[in-house]
Amino acid sequence: MLTAFEKMKAPQRIQWLYEEYGSRLVLSSSFGLQAAVMLDLVSKYAPEIPVVWIDTGYLFPETYEYVELLKEKLNLNLKEYQPLQTAARQEAIHGKLWEQGEEGNAQYGIINKVEPMNRALRELNTDVWLSGLRRSQSSTRVERPFLEQQKKTLKVYPILDWTDPQVQQYYRDNNLPKHPLEAKGYKTMGDWHSTQPVAEGESAEDSRYGGSKYECGLHLDSGATDFQI
């Protein structure tokens, strides 16, 4: 199965998954700088599947604007999930977790990313999770396989082998709008407190969490987090 899947083009991969798994499929999206590619592919080749967007409460205003734009343009079946604690309540109880080192950032990821995604998978009754991760995005994703079993959930990355030029060409060919912050020097996108524009000589990885890490918690190595325990 894996070899055949790898040889397919991205649209074929998504179409095959849709035909094979149907209502068991879900796509997660951060509505980041390159998110429109997977959103557009899914809207064409796996229409009607739920698109899970986790609103941490710490997103850039421009990201919220981008969500509304793409939701309407692509007619997405958008399912919005938030942490169980509001941003204000989290800060009152825990302080600013993103300023509390590795342990604080790990707790932040569980509260704001992992728990809401687990809840989405359970409530939507899905166990095949599509994501737009690509190997060229960071050193932590270079060895990522196309398919990963993580607890009860099968995680699948249909554009894992796409290069940056392929992504940009897809935007042009399909007339997709860019995230507003790309023009301001951002090369990757996350919460406002953990993402900054890329300075001269820096990589996209340097612009996340002060360069200390890239992953937020949703896409760690298989088994590192719980998805449908």
> Do residues 50 and 77 make contact, with C-beta atoms less than 8 angstroms apart?
yes
**Nearest to 152, CA basis, from 110, 112, 117, 106:** 117
Measured CA to CA, the distance from residue 108 to residue 215 in angstroms comes to 12
Single out the catalytic residue among 105, 216, 217, 219. Answer: 216
> Do residues 110 and 54 make contact, with C-beta atoms less than 8 angstroms apart?
no
The per-residue DSSP string of 177-190 comes to PPPGGGGGT-SS--
Residue 161 annotated to the active site:
no
> Do residues 181 and 33 make contact, with C-beta atoms less than 8 angstroms apart?
yes
Q: How many CB atoms lie within 10 A of CB 52?
A: 24
Measured CA to CA, the distance from residue 27 to residue 130 in angstroms comes to 5
Measured CA to CA, the distance from residue 137 to residue 204 in angstroms comes to 8
**CB within 8 Å of 162: residues ≥ 6 apart:** 10, 37, 134, 136
The catalytic residues are 216
